[in-house]
Amino acid sequence: MKLKINIIDTFTDVIFKGNSAAVIIIQDWLTDDLMQSIAIENNLSETAYVKKIGTQDFEIRWFSPITEIDFCGHATLASAFVLFSDNPDFSNITFFAEAVGKLSVTKKDNGYIQMSFPNQAPEPVTDIPSDLLKGLSIAPAEVLMNRQAYFVVYSSEKDVLSVVQYKEFLKKLTPYDVVVTAKSEEYDFVSRYFWPANGGDEDPATGSIHTGLAPYWSEKLGKTELNAFQASTRGGVLHCRVEGDRVYISGKAVQYLEGHITV
């Protein structure tokens, strides 16, 4: 069986930056074991599988090299980029995912793709896990969490850029990942995302975690439109807008590879 595969760099407009995702559009779901094996072979942050269920409606599932993920922003952006490229008459598409429901995506005139996600604002943590404290080289100023991750807030951007993770401790926080964040001089806020329990070392650009970061910084900064930078080695730029129970995350994407795999 041959499957078409696209690899897209997201939250960037140049290749080799942002976060890469593989996109495979299928007519029928493959077995979970096969989808996981393909994701392991791809060895990217995420491999997205997209199944058409209507004219502009699609089901989507995401797999890291370690496990299936219940919500992934950058691979949703990559999937939308492929669908919009293949269907230039489309300006809106809708994805459906079991864990997060309906995800509406819009192609904007300025080259950005805007995704509508559930607001997943974090709540303060009073009992901070010892493994979280031992897993970071710099002590947090504040800790919060949502269904996806612990949010470690630092008092300076320098701390976010210089903090070192100790994976043997952060792994013990499974199923939760860890995001570190601070107010930024150039952007509204910066972050880094560590996910040794679910994906690997450090994620280059993470759309899903900004459904929690954007509401947090929106409240702190008193603004609903925010520009964010994920300060990984590759880096990623995300534009966020908070509106009630939705968070709109926009980014650009660029094609790196188009080909076929044989399974």
Active-site annotation, residues? 46
Distance CA 253, CA 15 (A): 9
Spatial contact of 249 and 117, defined as CB atoms under 8 Å apart: yes
Q: Enter the tokens of residue 38.
A: 């393909």
Question: Could you tell me how far CA 245 lies from the centroid of its own chain?
Answer: 18
The values of phi and psi at residue 74, to 5°, are -70, -35
Q: What is the dihedral of CA 214, 81, 237, 42, to 10 degrees?
A: 100
Alpha carbon distances (Å) from 97 to 39, 42, 49, 212 = 18, 22, 11, 18
Residues in the chain: 263
Q: Could you count the other beta carbons within 10 Å of the beta carbon of residue 36?
A: 18
Q: Judging by DSSP bridges, how do beta strands 101-107 and 113-118 pair with one another?
A: antiparallel
- Pick from 77, 70, 86, 88: nearest CA to 114: 77
End-to-end CA distance of the chain: 5
My answer on whether omega of the bond before 175 falls inside 30° of 0, hence cis, is: yes
